[in-house]
Structure formats: structure tokens, C-alpha cells
Structure 1
Amino acid sequence: MTSTTVSAVMTADPITVPARTPFKDIAQLLTGNGISAVGVVDKAGVLVGVVSEADLLPHLWDDPKPRRRDRRLARKATACTAKDLMTSPVVTIDADDSLASAATKFARTGVRRLFVLRGGKPAGVLSRRDLVRVFTRGDADLEREIRDRVLREQLHLGPDRVRIEVRAGVVTVVGRVERRSDIDPVTRLIRDLSGVVEVRNRLDYVWNDVA
């Protein structure tokens, strides 16, 4: 999925707030917009933190200063503005990064969302669901892109030489190419497409040019 960038699947124009935004205003933004977090920006529009639903929940504790609680969370229990509520630093990703990079970052950090930056400023939000959604792409649409853009335009391989079949995102490639070294690029370029679950390359070749 590496050819598709984060910007293609993210939710653009994320809601952000200044550091002095009151607690209640943030709660209203979250519930009113059906979102789970807002970004916190400085005067220059640079992302400096994020306030999520989890950051607001400590206010519901019976004891606002529990001794056994994490000190960071205890501070949030009495925080009144975004500056004191926010979690920082924020886990971010660049708008031009690949979906593969995003998936790796999700797995490594365990976060539910990534704020997307362009030029150092917030451009969108990427959720784990956004990544999963790319696999819902229809087989017919995927087959058309492979046939027209990858095989014909990029690799100059017509249906007389290479044929494909797409079922449930699994791409099967059959046929014969001129050289053995022509086989790997077919797999790589198809695998890079959004929505591909697996590539089964069954291509044969005329002559072996691989040492």
C-alpha cells in the first residue's frame, strides 16, 4: 500500500484549539463534533499537544488528588485549560508519508490516531479505521487500475502477455514475460496499490537474465 499517501485517506482540516481554551469548551467541541480529540496549537499554528476524551475523564475522580494515581493524570484532574490538559509531545506523521509507514507507527506506539502534518502544521487526522478502509476497495476498480496503469502504462505489458484476476483483494498474475528480471517489478508495483491484500505472481519467462 506504499504508493498511497496518508493525505489520500486522512480526515482533513482537523479541529484545533489555542492553549488557553477552557475545559468546558473542549468538552463541547468533542461531543458536538463527534470526535475523540482536538489538537492544541501555539500562536504560530504549530501543533504542541493533543487533548483527548481520556484527558478529560480524571475530572470525574472522587478524589481530585489521589496519592496512588499517576502524577500526570492527577494534574489533569484539576486542569482547567488545554495547556494543562494536553498530552505532549504528539505522535504525528507527515501528509506525504506512505500508509505502510502509518501502519508501522500505529503498531509501535499503540495510539488510536495520528495527527497529520504538512509543513510542520496540522493538516489532518489519521485513524486506524482509515487504514483498514482501504481494503474495502472493489475488485473491479482494482483490476482496472492494475491492467491499465500498472501493466499497460508502466510496464508496457498487454493482455496478450500478462493476465490478472482479482478476488477479495487477492491478485493473481499469469502469463509470460521476456526476462526473469521483469517478474519482480510486477509484484512490487501491484503490491503498492491501495486495497491489495496479496499478490500471487505466477509469471513465467523466456530467458533467465538473473545471475
Structure 2
Amino acid sequence: MITVDQLMTRHIVDIAAGTSAIEAARLMKSRKVGSVLVRRNNEVIGIVTEPDIVRKVVGAERIPYYIAVDEIMSSPVIGIDARRPVTEAADLMEQHGTRHLAVMKGGSIVGILSVRDLLHPVSMDEL
């Protein structure tokens, strides 16, 4: 059984609530990620993804310099335990209509699992 922690991205990228959508997009570009967690007072309050910026800002003809990430984020962040099977993660994504899950271990976020991660093969050595 392939588990979520075998495919997740361990490098978590976050941004402060109130930061502009343009800064979030720049951060995603520089870190080569498709999402950033939004934090307020060291607590994760949401997630902003590339489609959020495209659909809720650019597609709505809003000016990204003036749109805060907390206006376009998805909240709450849907999470899954790191030891759960990836099939359960895929079902959870479909159920909630999301492409990203926070991966949890001991009540803390330890990674992010994206739909794209589900496409990566796992070598037999990792099983």
C-alpha cells in the first residue's frame, strides 16, 4: 500500500494573511510550487493555489496588487494523516473538490499532497 507520506511534498511554503495575490504568485513561481498555505498568528487559516489566482483574480479582472490572499484562499484546509493510503487521499480530494491536502502527523502539518503528486510513480525500494 502506497501511503500519503511517500508521495507528499515535504517542503511547506507559507505566506502571511493580508499579503497580495501578486506576492503569492511570485512566491509560487520562485519556489516552484502550485500552492501556499496562508498563516495568521502562526496558525494556518487557508490555502491559495494557482487556480485561485487565475480564476478569482485574473479571470475576474481584479488587480492582483490589491487583492489579499485571505480574500481568495480556500478555508479550512482539508487534511489527511500521513499514514493513510493515497487512494483515500484521492477520494478526499474528489469529495471536497480540492487539488491539495495538508498532510498531518501528530496534529501538525508536515507536508502537502497535490493531485500532481499522485501521478508520480513510487519505486519498489520505497515500499
The TM-score by the shorter chain falls in which range? Answer: 0.7 to 0.9
1:8-157 to structure 2, matched below 5 A, reads 8-44=6-42, 46-57=43-54, 58-61=56-59, 64=62, 80-134=67-121, 137=123
From the superposition, tell whether residues 120 and 60 of structure 1 become closer, same or farther in structure 2 (CA, over 3 Å): same
CA contact (8 A) 2:20 2:64 kept: no
Cα deviation, 1:147-194, whole Å, max 9, x if unaligned, reads xxxxxxxxxxxxxxxxxxxxxxxxxxxxxxxxxxxxxxxxxxxxxxx5
Larger radius of gyration: 1
TM-score by length of 2: 0.76
Runs of 4+ that moved beyond 4 A = 61-64, 76-79
- Structure 1 residues not aligned, in runs of 5+: 65-75, 143-193, 195-211
From the superposition, tell whether residues 81 and 99 of structure 1 become closer, same or farther in structure 2 (CA, over 3 Å): same
- Structure 2 residues not aligned, in runs of 5+: none
Alpha-carbon deviation of 1:80? 2.3
TM-score by length of 1: 0.50
From the superposition, tell whether residues 78 and 55 of structure 1 become closer, same or farther in structure 2 (CA, over 3 Å): farther
Identity of aligned residues (%): 29
From the superposition, tell whether residues 89 and 62 of structure 1 become closer, same or farther in structure 2 (CA, over 3 Å): closer
| Superposition RMSD in Å | 2.9
